[in-house]
Amino acid sequence: MRHTGPDNPKEAYNQGDQRGEAQSGFASPHLHRSHITLLRAGAVLSWILALLLGTMLVAGCQPSRQKGLYVAAAASLAQTLPDLQTAFTAQTGIPVIPVFSSSGNLTQQIINGAPYDVFLSADEQYIEALIQGGYIRAESKRVYALGTLALVTSTRHTPPITGMSDLIRPEIRRVAIANPQHAPYGRAAVEALQRTGVWESITHKLVIGENVRQALQFVQTGNADAGIVARSLLPVSGIHVQPVPTAWHSPIVQTAGILRRSSRLAEARQFLDFLLSPTGQRILQEHGFTSPEAVP
Mean pLDDT value across residues 169-175: 94
| 205-252 tens-digit pLDDT | 999 999 999 999 999 999 999 999 999 999 999 999 999 999 999 999
Q: pTM of this prediction? A: 0.79
What band does 155 get if pLDDT is binned at 50, 70 and 90? confident
What band does 159 get if pLDDT is binned at 50, 70 and 90? confident
What band does 158 get if pLDDT is binned at 50, 70 and 90? confident
CATH topology classification for 5-9+20-27+41-146+252-294: D-Maltodextrin-Binding Protein; domain 2 (3.40.190)
Whether the CA torsion 274, 276, 279, 281 is positive or negative: it is positive
Of all residues in the chain, what percent carry a pLDDT higher than 90?
73
| 92-110 tens-digit pLDDT | 999 999 999 999 999 999 9
| 113-154 tens-digit pLDDT | 999 999 999 999 999 999 999 999 999 999 999 999 999 999
The answer regarding whether domain 149-248 maps to CATH 3.70.10.10 reads: no
Q: Spell out the domain ranges in the chain.
A: 5-9+20-27+41-146+252-294, 149-248
Tell me if domain 5-9+20-27+41-146+252-294 and domain 149-248 are identical in fold: yes
Which pLDDT score, from 0 to 100, does residue 65 have? 64
Which pLDDT score, from 0 to 100, does residue 51 have? 46
Which pLDDT score, from 0 to 100, does residue 157 have? 76
Which pLDDT score, from 0 to 100, does residue 56 have? 46
